[in-house]
Amino acid sequence: MKSRPLILIAGGTEAAGPEFGDPSLTLSGRYPEAVLAAGGLPLTLNPIPSPGYLAECVRRCDGVVLSGGDDIQPLLHRRSTSPELARTVGRTDPERDLAETLLIGEVFRQRKPLLAICRGHQMVNVVFGGTLYIDLATERPDGLDHRQYARLNDPVHEVALTRGSLLRRIMRQPVITVNTTHHQAVDRLAALFQPTGQTADGLVEAYELANEHTGLLPWFLSVQFHPERLCLKYPEFGRLFAALARAARRTAR
């Protein structure tokens, strides 16, 4: 039996953790559970903004997952933010933003398979020049309700998948129904990517590398929803992690 591919999962931070109130690493256990169930070996990555540390971690791994978490600083993708929108921004973590900017750069430089989820979905877009809606309820009041925490582990709204896309091939159907727990989202998609999943109100729920850029990574998929929260109850969502693990195994040295 082949050894499990090592999958780095980018963790978040907690300002005052349980040990002496120190700043702490945090990550939902659903991510490593999903990676392990899919055949990967999960390892949580501390968001330390050290280029050398991150380069070495990416070098030693076979694939990467960018997880969800805190809001992204608006200044990274907007020149100015109105006071009304600024009030909607939750906790931000500048060090994590910097660490993940460096991490994403290393993943592309070293060409490792990458699955971006929720915050990660937004962060990849920002790193390559895209923008975000800072608060959907404020900026798109007539859209769907995308912040449904009461149904965290269950499908809520549909996402139409682009014919021929990686996500459609993985899910084996033209429309999927996903959970939704976000108030920020992709606004202008960076030119490097193409949308491959959209909601009825027009939000980019999934994107992949544009056709002319597919050679940049051996495997890449970015989704706004949380497949790690769905896959135990709805096994078809485990296919995303299984596809990542297969790609990681192929690229392992």
How far is Cα 131 from Cα 110, in angstroms, rounded to an integer? 25
Catalytic site positions:
118, 226, 228
Instruction: Yes or no: say if 132 and 184 are a contact pair by the CB < 8 Å rule.
Output: yes
Residue found by looking up tokens 């108030």 in the block: 183
**Nearest partner of 42 among 218, 207, 187, 241, judged by Cα:** 241
d(CA 37, CA 42): 10
Give dist(CA 193, CA 90) in Å, integer.
Answer: 27
Q: What is the dihedral of CA 41, 56, 226, 116, to 10 degrees?
A: -130
* Centroid of chain to Cα 60: 21
Name the DSSP class of 64: E
- Going from the C-alpha of 107 to that of each of 97, 203, 230, 237, the distances in angstroms are 15, 26, 26, 24
